[in-house]
Chain A
Amino acid sequence: MDSKVYTVSELNAFIKELFDATPPFAQIAVRGELSNYKIYPSGHHYFTIKDSESSLKCVMFKSSAVKLRFRPESGMSVTAFGRLSVYPRDGAYQLYCSGLMPEGTGDLQIAFEQLKRKLSEEGLFDPTHKKPLPRYPKKIAIITSSAGAAVHDMIRILSHRWPMTKVVLLPVRVQGVEAPPEIVGAIRYANRYRVADLIITGRGGGSIEDLWAFNDERVARAIYASDLPVISAVGHEPDVTISDYVADARASTPSNAAEIAVPDMTEEREALYSCGIRASQAMDRRLKQLRTELEQFRSRRVLQDASAYLDDRRIELDHLRDKLISAMENELARKKHNQVALAASLDAMSPLRVLTRGYTMATNESGEIVWRTADLTPGDRLRLRLSDGSAAVTVDSIDGESI
């Protein structure tokens, strides 16, 4: 006999260690009848599960209890999931319950809940592992049946929203025992040969048995391991599968996956149009500001004595600016009524169009616009912008140096 004498605390702690080191206890499911069901003001639930011979104490903390989709009551037959451990204060073992399912829940549903818990604890649903989807995917790999309606729904919507994306179909079976290995194989193949920059996998609606391949652990792990982002698109709106939890994005239906995968061309055109308007308005403001500066400059006393030559140049420059601004204002006013010929009209709006009316613009070697003779010295190289190109010129002499 062991001569060691334990304190009660030591012994209870020892037993708790034994429980916690027993792997099946970490995730266990037990079936029985609820009795003595009590909800405490703290939000924790305390109850017993029993059958005709035995009973088991259970506690369900508030964090798990709030996720229950039914109201448990004494007398109900249930399956409880959780961790079996010891409460050292009482020396009693109990089930730390993380979920309850009422009787009548099928075996598949129970298997689903068990797998969901297992993978969740392993971190497969962790939001930090989820990869962002490319904004403008160049190629999308669709892993589904080539026969169903789902593939055609997806292709139709992709082509309507964003025809720039190439669609690469990897046909697989989506139900039956061969389905999970085929889906897994296609996900790995798509990654290995980088056949796309985004994967959509799924199928159309069906019974829980029909959708079962997407509750398969191998499929879940392949989605998790994929370097390419994956959108899961299984069944109809209320169907949720393990694939949905592990994928980088969950779509409620295959059509919805196509909507999530690509931008909408109409919205994209509107965004381009608004970029054009903003650019024009910014140019407009800038030109107005420059004209104001020019007017202040001209009103100065000293400049009123300037030579006729310089006046001419200034007037010319001023006209150029007026025309630039009025051309832009006209175009902007017109564009408010006509949003159709976007690119063409923006081209016409370019301030450079004014050059076609016989004006030229001179820039120095740093590309700055030359305004005044004071900025010039003989021998300077300038570039003259004309309506159809430009010319390099050299300054021979400068008039109007008197100011």
Chain B
Amino acid sequence: MDINNLSYEQAASRLGEIVAHLEKGNLPLSESLGLFEEGTALMKHCTELLDKAEQKVVMLKKGADGTPEELPFEVES
């Protein structure tokens, strides 16, 4: 599974699991190292998602066939 494709929610929840595993402290060293590496990558991914997040705001309009169409909506700064 490619960490970069995970949503924030998925990554944050996996990170929580990893920390809990590591804190149990009974894993073989190689497994601990693997989890630690994965945790570091997950944290980096989450931080990047937060850093580059940019709010999108649209206004919905009912299209001719009833399905939603997105229109720009001017946001006050």
Contact = CB atoms under 8 A, between A and B. Distances in A.
Contact of A169 (B44, B53, B55, B57): B57
Contacts of A167: 55-58
Interface string A10-30: 000000000000000000000
Interface residues of B, number: 45
Interface string A147-158: 000001001101
Contacts of B56: 166-167
A205 interface: no
Complex A-B, nearest 6 residue pairs according to Cβ-Cβ distance, in ascending order: A282-B22, A159-B55, A343-B44, A163-B55, A163-B53, A164-B53
Interface in A133-152: 135-136, 138, 141, 146, 152
B2 interface: no
Contacts of A189: 62, 68
B36 A278 contact: no
B73 A279 contact: no
Interface residues of A, number: 51
Given A166-B57, A169-B73, A276-B43, 10 more contacts: A158-B55, A195-B60, A272-B12, A275-B19, A279-B18, A282-B25, A283-B32, A347-B40, A368-B30, A369-B29
B8 A136 contact: yes
Contact of B55 (A135, A165, A283, A367): A165
Main secondary structure of the interface of A (DSSP, over half): helix
Contacts of B62: 189
Interface in B8-51: 8-9, 12, 15-16, 18-19, 22-23, 25, 27-34, 36-37, 39-40, 43-44, 46-50
A282 B31 contact: no
A269 B50 contact: yes
A347 B42 CA distance: 11
Nearest to A282: B22
B3 to A, nearest CB: 12
A342 B43 contact: yes
Nearest to B41: A347
B55 A272 contact: no
Nearest to B11: A272
Contacts of A171: 59
A350 B28 contact: no
Nearest to A137: B9
7 contacts: A159-B55, A166-B56, A168-B60, A272-B46, A275-B39, A278-B23, A283-B33
Contact of B37 (A136, A289, A352): A352
Interface string A162-189: 1111111111000000000000000001
B64 interface: no
Interface in A348-369: 349-352, 363, 367-369
B67 interface: yes
Nearest to A162: B53
Contact of A282 (B15, B19, B50): B19
A383 B70 CA distance: 53
Given A158-B55, A189-B62, A279 B8 contact: no
A268 B9 CA distance: 11
